[in-house]
Amino acid sequence: MSAVLVVIEHDRGHVPEATLEALTSARSIAGGLGLPVHAAAMGEGAEMVASQVGEYGAEVIHHLTSPNLGDYNPEAWGQALVGCVSSESPAVVMASGTDRGNELMAQLAARAGLPFVANCVDVAPDVSSMTRSQWGGALHEEATLDAEIKLISMAPHTVEASPGPAAGRVDEIAVDVDDSLVRSVIRDRVVLSEGITLSTAPVVVSGGRAVGSEEAFAPLEALAEELGGKVGCSRAVTNNGWRPHADQVGQTGTRIAPTIYIATGISGATQHWVGAMGSKNILAINTDPEANMVTKAGWAVIADLHEMVPAITEEVKRRKG
Partner 1 sequence: MRILALVKRVPAPGARINITEDEQHVDDKNLGHAISPHEECGVEAAVQLIEQYGGDATVMSMGADVSEEQLRAAVSVGISKMVLVPTNGSPKDPQATASALVAAIRELEEQDGVFDLIIFGNESADQGGFQVGIRVAHELGRAMVNGIKGLEIPDGQDGSGDGHIVARREVDAGFEVYELPLPACVGVKEGINLPRYPTMKGRLASKKAELVSLAVEADADAHANGRQAQTRLKSPPETATETVILGDGVDAAPAVVDLLEELGVL
* Contact positions with partner 1 (CB under 8 A) in 243-282: 244-246, 248, 251-253, 259-260, 269-272, 281
Measured from the CB atom, the residue of 49 and 294 that comes closer to partner 1 is 294
Number of residues counted as binding partner 1 (CB under 8 A): 104
Rounded to whole angstroms, the Cα distance separating 249 from 271 reads 9
The residues in 42-81 that bind partner 1, with binding defined as CB under 8 A, are 72, 74-75
The residues in 3-32 that bind partner 1, with binding defined as CB under 8 A, are 11
* Distance of closest approach, residue 197 Cβ to partner 1, in angstroms: 4
Nearest Cα to Cα of residue 144 among 158, 163, 126, 166 = 126
Measured from the CB atom, the residue of 189 and 215 that comes closer to partner 1 is 189
**Binding of residue 2 to partner 1 (CB under 8 A):** no
* Distance of closest approach, residue 118 Cβ to partner 1, in angstroms: 4
CB 85 within 8 A of CB 175: no
* Distance of closest approach, residue 201 Cβ to partner 1, in angstroms: 10
* Distance of closest approach, residue 168 Cβ to partner 1, in angstroms: 27
- Given candidates 143, 159, 216, 218, which one binds partner 1 under the rule CB under 8 A? 143
- Given candidates 113, 179, 290, 321, which one binds partner 1 under the rule CB under 8 A? 113
CB 250 within 8 A of CB 272: yes
**Binding of residue 171 to partner 1 (CB under 8 A):** no
- Given candidates 1, 139, 167, 174, which one binds partner 1 under the rule CB under 8 A? 139
Binding marks (x or -) toward partner 1, 188..217, rule CB under 8 A? Answer: xxxxxxx--xxxx-xx--------------
Q: In what order do the strands lie in the sheet with 60-65?
A: 129-134, 116-123, 150-154, 92-96, 4-7, 37-42, 60-65, 169-174
Rounded to whole angstroms, the Cα distance separating 265 from 255 reads 19
Distance of CA 166 to the CA centre of its chain: 24
Rounded to whole angstroms, the Cα distance separating 44 from 55 reads 21
Rounded to whole angstroms, the Cα distance separating 144 from 89 reads 21
**Binding of residue 289 to partner 1 (CB under 8 A):** yes
Considering only 42-50, 58-66, 211-219, 301-309, which stretch makes contact with partner 1 by CB under 8 A?
Answer: 301-309
By residue count, the chain amounts to: 321
Query: Measured in Å, how far apart are the chain's first and last C-alpha atoms?
Result: 62
